[in-house]
């Protein structure tokens, strides 16, 4: 029996998740433009523009700077597999699911990978990394700048110092932080930095921007064995994105159109203005959550990632019921926890297009309704009122500084 499949009509959601985030209407328009061939001369010009924008956002002059046709996890794989060979020594700092993923990938490339851990909700102490590498020939140190699973940010500069001491390359996962948090690849001397298109850049999922320093390129050239993955071998992939434009694979043309437009909007806004917008909106969100007597997983304000806020689920409140009500009644999607914090936290994303005052205030009022329906008591309107006060303080401070 033939089953009828109707027209595709997805619901319109406000995606306050840790990714993907909702995207600007201009990005949708770019994605809906006519398709061209991936070897078309016009498209080669579009590729050039995409790389120009990527270098501006990464703040780098690196030759190898391109979007991989993959999710952020593909960026992890490319960064690790291109640098490590069997027997190489590596350190991966693990404080969540995605830094754990980097460790797992590294163990498939080498048998000598050291895991340095911290509890969920905290960054890995760089002194622990220094001790772990003492007296060893460490080839790479890898960590997540923004750990999406817990909402923790880890400083880059102290890790760069330790990498210098150990003579190691520094690999930084900026999937949840690029275009929302200050990152300067060249000044901070990050050797391999990768991200994802679907988070603070606010493009559709499916692309992983990556940039590689000359020092890392040199390591690639000195490999004794081929990269385990043909697809993620950056030297061959760069033959397509480099000046020769040699065929490597058929990239997702429409996703590149969308990524180009999303990055154009990032540059149009200005990196510093965008970083400040993310900071201010998270401060307002946190003020509102705390006024509602909700606790946060990340206790130290300095360790909080501006794009993802991990909220402890209060006792007696059903995790799934709240998230389903937000979806069904308000068209708002947030995420639960996974791994060791499954059922213990909600993860609220304020990324790129979604990091806006109206969305913060809407979410806080919607969350209050869902919690009240489950019998959780708080002062009426406390969350929204606290967020408004937070915004007012920022606006007053800005007016005074002018």
C-alpha of 117 from chain center: 20
- Under a CB-based contact definition with an 8 Å cutoff, are residues 43 and 35 in contact? no
DSSP 336-352: E--GGGTTTEEEEE--G
Length of the chain: 402
Give the max Cα distance, the chain: 71
Domain end point (choices 232, 267, 302): 267
| Together in a domain, 157 and 280 | no
Query: What's the start-to-end Cα distance of the chain, in Å?
Result: 71
The span from the CA of 383 to the CA of 364, in Å, is: 6
Structure tokens belonging to residue 277: 């917008």
Look up tokens 């433009």; give the residue.
33
How many CB atoms are closer than 10 A to CB 333? 17
How many angstroms separate the CA atoms of 286 and 295, rounded?
Answer: 9
- Is residue 379 left, alpha or beta, with left meaning phi > 0 and alpha meaning psi from -120 to 50? beta
Evaluate whether residue 231 is within a structural domain: yes
Any domain includes 6: no
Examine the domain organization and report whether 36 and 173 are in the same domain. yes
Q: Which residues contact 377 (CB under 8 A, 6 or more apart)?
A: none
Distance of CA 329 to the CA centre of its chain: 28
Q: Is residue 4 part of a domain?
A: no
Domain span at residue 163 reads 25-267
Q: Which CATH number goes with the domain that contains 37?
A: 3.40.640.10
Flag whether 134 is in a domain. yes
Residues 197-255 pLDDT 10s: 999 999 999 999 999 999 999 999 999 999 999 999 998 888 888 877 788 888 999 99
Q: What is the DSSP string of 294-324?
A: --BS--SGGGB-TTEEEEEPPTT--HHHHHH
What are the tokens at 263?
């990055």
Q: Is 145 found in the same domain as 69?
A: yes
Q: Which of 220, 236, 267 is the last residue of a domain?
A: 267
Q: How far is CA 124 from each of CA 120, 152, 220, 308, 335, rounded to the nearest angstrom?
A: 10, 10, 28, 18, 24
- The reported pTM is 0.95
CATH code (residue 279): 3.90.1150.10
The half-sphere exposure of 188 on its side-chain side, counting CA atoms within 13 A, is 19
Q: Which of 11, 9, 8 is nearest to 331 (CA)?
A: 11
Q: What is the pLDDT of residues 246-283, one digit of tens each?
A: 888 889 999 999 999 999 999 999 999 999 999 999 99
Co-location of 154 and 100 in the same domain: yes
The structural domain count of the chain equals 2
Q: Could you list the pLDDT tens digit for every one of the 402 residues in the chain?
A: 789 999 999 999 999 999 999 999 999 999 999 999 998 999 999 999 999 999 999 999 999 999 999 999 999 999 999 999 999 999 999 999 999 999 999 999 998 999 999 999 999 999 999 999 999 999 999 999 999 999 999 999 999 999 999 999 999 999 999 999 999 999 999 999 999 999 999 999 999 999 999 999 999 999 999 999 999 999 888 888 887 778 888 899 999 999 999 999 999 999 999 999 999 999 999 999 999 999 999 999 999 999 999 999 999 999 999 999 999 999 999 999 998 999 999 999 999 999 999 999 999 999 999 999 999 999 999 999 999 999 999 887 765 555
Tokens 């304020």 sit at which residue?
A: 350
């Amino acid at each position: 029996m033939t089953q009828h499949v109707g027209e595709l009509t997805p619901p319109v959601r406000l995606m306050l998740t840790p990714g993907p985030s909702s995207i600007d209407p201009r990005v949708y328009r770019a994605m809906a433009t006519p398709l061209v061939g991936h070897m078309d001369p016009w498209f080669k010009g579009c590729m050039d523009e995409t790389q120009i924008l990527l270098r501006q956002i990464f703040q780098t002059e690196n030759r190898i700077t391109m979007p991989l046709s993959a999710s952020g996890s593909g960026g992890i794989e490319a960064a690790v597999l291109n640098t490590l060979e069997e027997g190489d020594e590596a350190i991966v700092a693990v404080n969540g699911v995605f830094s754990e993923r980097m460790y797992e990938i590294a163990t498939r490339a080498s048998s000598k990978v050291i895991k340095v851990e911290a509890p969920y909700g905290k960054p890995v102490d760089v002194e622990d990394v220094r001790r772990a590498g003492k007296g060893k020939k460490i080839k790479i140190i890898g960590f997540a700048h923004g750990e999406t699973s817990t909402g923790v940010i880890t400083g880059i500069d102290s890790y760069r110092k330790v990498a210098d001491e150990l003579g190691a390359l520094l690999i930084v996962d900026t999937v949840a932080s690029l275009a929302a948090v200050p990152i300067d690849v060249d000044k901070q001397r990050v050797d391999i930095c990768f991200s994802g298109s679907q988070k603070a850049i606010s493009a559709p999922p499916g692309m992983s921007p990556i940039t590689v320093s000359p020092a890392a390129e040199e390591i690639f050239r000195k490999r004794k064995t081929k990269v385990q993955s043909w697809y993620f071998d950056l030297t061959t992939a760069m033959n397509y994105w480099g000046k020769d434009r040699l065929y490597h694979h058929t990239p997702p043309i429409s996703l590149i159109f969308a990524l180009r437009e999303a990055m154009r909007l990032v540059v149009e806004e200005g990196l510093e203005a965008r970083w400040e917008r993310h900071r201010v909106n998270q401060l307002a969100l946190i003020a509102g959550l705390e006024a509602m007597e909700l606790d946060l997983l990340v206790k130290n304000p300095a360790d909080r990632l501006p794009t993802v806020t991990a909220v402890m689920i209060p006792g007696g409140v059903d995790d799934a019921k709240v998230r389903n009500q937000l979806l069904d009644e308000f068209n708002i999607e947030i995420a639960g926890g996974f791994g060791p914090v499954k059922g213990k936290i909600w993860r609220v994303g304020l990324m790129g297009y979604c990091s806006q005052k109206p969305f913060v205030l809407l979410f806080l009022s919607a969350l209050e309704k869902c919690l009240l329906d489950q019998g959780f008591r708080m002062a009426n309107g406390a969350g929204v009122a606290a967020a408004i006060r937070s915004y007012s303080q920022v606006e007053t401070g800005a007016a005074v500084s002018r």
